[in-house]
Amino acid sequence: MAGEKRRRPITACHAQFQGAISQFLNREERQWSDVVSYAGEWDQDELESFPMRASCIKPSTKIENLNITLRVRLLRYIFDSLPEFEEAVEAFDRAHLLEPKVCRVKEIIESIEMYKFVRDFLLSLQHRKHIDRVLDVACGHGLVGILLARRFPSLQVTSLDLVARPAFDVFRDGWDASMRERGQRSLGNVEKLEGDFRDHLELVTETTLVLSVHGCNEVNNLVIETARSRSAAWAALPCCIRDSLFLPSSKVHLMDGCAAKASKYFREFQGVRHAFFCGCMMEKYEAERLSMYGGRAHNYLQILRSMDSRITDKGIFLAGGRYISVCGPLSLRRALRGKMKLGTPYTVEWNIKRLAA
């Protein structure tokens, strides 16, 4: 359990965290002294403290399923991961009170990590390309878009899905209430929209960032190809990728039938296959950035993973768009030699054609 691990020492910012969770503690009838021993800085290895399914966090686990120790640790993760938002802890706590069933631990952590990648991508575009809209296609709960709207008030964020999920309103209402309590304006620059992406192509212009988080199969291709055809920027965290989309005349087999799922190596093989097809996607669309988080993946997987593999096993983040310059602060060759420090985040940018030369 998280409370049984040896933690980093509590730093000067513990007072701010104490204030951030004060309402939570009052509701739970706890004192700060009751939780101070497990309120220190977040350590990424604590991901394993949450209920796991095989190698990553169990998707069905909700905040209400966690004990008091793990709930405090989750709030500390939010506090440390989103220092730019003083209301972040309270906003997620309010969302949980509004509708506990939509507050899944994996989705929250995954969305925060994805937000950080897209945030950094948008910041890198500031002097290269003007962006005034983010279109989040197949947005699901819409949390990534809500966080982006909070971080970039001048952007218009449109969260689009075939059917809007109630979670979107829960997270937005939780954030709005926390902001109003601090005398801040609520999120007026984020909207939800129901419909097919193909019926709203007019939203994609040269100043749009089209976003696809865990889009499946043709969704990724449609999003990227539409963005490229209109000189828009794009970012994707692909989910399922069918063989025929990139290798129409052949297939990539892991193993056959039940033997594959029964094998202890199945998830590693699945990860290699996903990484391979993300590489195919990079080559086809000339993706200009790959952001990586090593986590505990093996070296041959490490270079393609964007998130810690304990969060998701499909965590490769790709982004591109016209007018984006490319640099290489860390060489692919160095990474392949295994000289990255495991568990340390790296952001790497390169040009596929340059590597192939």
Go through the domains of the chain in sequence order and give each one's CATH number: 2-81 (no CATH), 100-237 (3.40.50.720), 246-357 (no CATH)
Q: Tell me: pLDDT of 166 over 80.
A: yes
Q: Which pLDDT belongs to residue 250?
A: 62
Cα separation values, 234 from 49, 229, 287, 327, Å: 34, 11, 9, 18
Strand partners, 235: 211, 319
- The contacts of residue 229 (CB under 8 Å, 6+ apart) are none
Confidence of residue 252 (pLDDT cuts 50, 70, 90): low
Write phi, then psi, for 237 (nearest 5 degrees): -120, 85
Q: Over 50: is that where the pLDDT of 339 sits? A: no
Residue 253 binned pLDDT confidence (cut-offs 50, 70, 90): low
Residue 354: CB atoms within 10 Å: 10
Residue 138 has pLDDT above 90, yes or no: yes
Q: Which residue has the higher pLDDT, 307 or 145?
A: 145
Provide the 3-class DSSP secondary structure of residue 67: coil
Strands 233-237 and 208-213: parallel
C-beta atoms surrounding 255 within 10 Å: 13
Nearest Cα residue to 347 out of 324, 330, 326: 330
> Does residue 348 sit in helix, strand or coil?
strand
CA-based angle 81:104:308, to the nearest 5?
Answer: 50
Q: Does residue 212 contact residue 317 with C-beta atoms inside 8 Å?
A: no
> Angle CA(146)–CA(131)–CA(351) in degrees, nearest 5?
105
Average the pLDDT over 198-226 and give the result. 92
More confident residue, 8 or 239: 239
- Mean pLDDT along residues 261-288: 69
Q: How many other β-carbons are positioned within 10 Å of the β-carbon of residue 52?
A: 14
- Residues 175 and 96: their CA atoms lie apart, in Å, by 11
44, pLDDT greater than 90: yes
Q: Based on the number of CB atoms within 10 Å of its own CB, is 228 exposed (0-12), middle (13-18) or buried (19 or more)?
A: middle
Per-residue pLDDT at 323: 53
Which carries the bigger pLDDT value, residue 293 or residue 122? 122
CB-based contacts of 314, cutoff 8 Å, min separation 6: 214, 237, 238, 239, 274
| HSE, side-chain direction, 13 A CA sphere, residue 143 | 25
In Å, how far from its chain's centre is CA 125?
19
